[in-house]
Amino acid sequence: MPKFEKMAYASSDEMIFGTAKNPVKYGRDFTVGGGYVFPELVPHPRPGTEATKKTLVKEYEKMVTDVLDRCVAIGIPGIQIELEHVYQMTRNPDWGGEIAAETKRLQEEYYRKFGLKSAIRATIADYRKPDEEDIRNSVALENMLKTFETSAAGGADNLSIESVGGKEISDYTIVRQDIRGTLFGIGVLGSRDMEFMWKKVVEIANKYGATPGGDTNCAQANVAMFMAGGYQDRSVPHTFAALTRAIAAARTLVAYEQGAKGPTKDCGYEDVIIKAITGNPISMEGKTCACAHSDLLGNLVAACCDLWSNEAVEYHDMFGGTTVAVFTEILGYDVALMNTAIEMGHAKILKELMVQSDKYRDTHGFILCPENAYEIGKAIVSNNTSYYARARAAAIKAGELMLGDSNLQMSAFEKESLQSAMRTLESLPDKEEDFISECADIYKKLIPGFTLANYGL
């Protein structure tokens, strides 16, 4: 059941990069949201190195060393490294654990020698298959939980995941521009699966003294956003993707209701809304994640960040060093600029510049600029009678905002898609149980393997 009833901030003006209401302290003298922004670097191993534990651990050792060396070379005060598990690291719990331990060993060495502050996030791969197995009782789940444990025991400070509940529905509905099913897959099923999953993650984190970090709607809202793509893509309407993002905020919130503390997961673009509601520190990615994917809000998305990330970069040589070192440097200077603005009392101006760069570039940036994100947050907390009600309210609010600002231009096709989705959203039942039974009937017929029992229904 939903828990948040009010906003952590009195207005979006109060929200700013580097500071959160509830800072998180962990790792080696590392505080997130305590006044300054830090980089979060995500290295990705080269293909082939996943073949054995030995080669993969070695790969991480090299990558992490390059990152820490570059921090020291150019004076970066502190850094978080995310171990975003490739499948093999979760499939084999001891691999994930050993890589966390090796990363910690290196971070401790640089802390001792140079005082470089640091922390580790481990993001376990959710490889459950909702349309093929009992996701509440499967080998995949068992391995994932074991890997959370080995990671925490190995030295991960922050435990995170990109959970996939409801994906079997949204995979079907996003490419069909079906907003009802998307609301069902993300807002209802996704939320319910997160409640199940996060109780377990929080328990494990507490057992090992690690911090339960966060979740992201990568499996759904990012699918819609990446498919919407750039200005010339015609896979999913951008307005539809923006509605999906608003729904995702209501879903991702569940992690924090179950006890996650943040910093949130970098690819959760919905996290500005999460910060507005929870006051927890957030990790964001924008222009610096162009190495992993393109987006239309590269500056704007940094406006309220507490960690600034690159999403993932594959380990290779570049003229300026290895990719992980190069991206450490790029993130480091971005963050230095933000922290300079903070020190000189210009943070609000820099925030405004970031926002104005992208607010009207595309619908996604528009709904995620702090003032609109705040409004969507308010719609969520004031409709907290059910997961469904608040997710639907978030989408309707996002739609109203898009239609209500004449500076936000849209093609006729985009506008029609939005209006059609709004008509559907408004016609849906008010009660969650009615919505669930309506959707259960429809999607059981359409989606082979879809079972309500996976969601405790």
Partner 1 sequence: MATVANYANIFVRYDLISSGEAKGAKVSSKDAALQKVLQCVLEGDSDNIEAAVNEALASKDPMTVINEGLIKGMNEVSRLWDEGVYYLPQAIVASDAMLKGLEICEKKLGKSLEKKGTVITHTAEGDIHDLGQKIVNALLRANGFEVVDLGKDVPVDEVVAAVKKYNPVMLTGTALMTTTMTAFERISNRLTKDGYATPFVCGGGAVSLEYVTGYNLGIYGKDASQAPGMASDAVNGLSWSQLREKWNS
Q: Which residue ranges make up the site for partner 1 (CB under 8 A)? A: 44-50, 86-88, 91, 127, 129, 132, 164, 171-172, 175-177, 223, 227, 231-232, 234-237, 314, 348, 352, 356-358, 360-361, 409, 411-413, 416
Burial 397-417 (b: 16+ CB within 10 A, else e): bbbebbeeeeebebeeebeeb
Rounded Cα distance, 388 and 24, in Å = 30
Least gap, CB of 259 to partner 1 (angstroms): 27
Query: Which two three-digit tokens encode residue 212?
Result: 């339960």
Partner from partner 1, ligand B12, none contacting 409, C-beta within 5 to 8 A by type? partner 1
Nearer Cβ to partner 1 (6/176): 176
Least gap, CB of 168 to partner 1 (angstroms): 10
Nearer Cβ to ligand B12 (50/352): 50
Q: Largest Cα–Cα distance of the chain, in whole Å?
A: 63
Rounded Cα distance, 281 and 363, in Å = 24
Least gap, CB of 353 to ligand B12 (angstroms): 27
Partner from ligand B12, partner 1, none contacting 114, C-beta within 5 to 8 A by type? none
Rounded Cα distance, 46 and 7, in Å = 43
- Cβ proximity of 175 and 181 under 8 Å: no
Least gap, CB of 353 to partner 1 (angstroms): 10
Nearer Cβ to ligand B12 (221/305): 221
Instruction: State the DSSP code for 220.
Output: I
Least gap, CB of 370 to ligand B12 (angstroms): 24
Nearer Cβ to partner 1 (208/226): 226
Nearer Cβ to ligand B12 (304/313): 313
Partner from partner 1, ligand B12, none contacting 218, C-beta within 5 to 8 A by type? ligand B12
Rounded Cα distance, 258 and 92, in Å = 27
Nearer Cβ to partner 1 (12/118): 12
Rounded Cα distance, 130 and 189, in Å = 11
List of residues contacting ligand B12 (CB under 6 A): 44, 84-87, 123, 125-127, 162, 164, 167, 171, 218-219, 222-223, 226-227, 292-293, 311-312
Least gap, CB of 71 to partner 1 (angstroms): 26
Nearer Cβ to ligand B12 (200/415): 200
Residue 160 β-bridge partners: 123
Least gap, CB of 136 to partner 1 (angstroms): 17
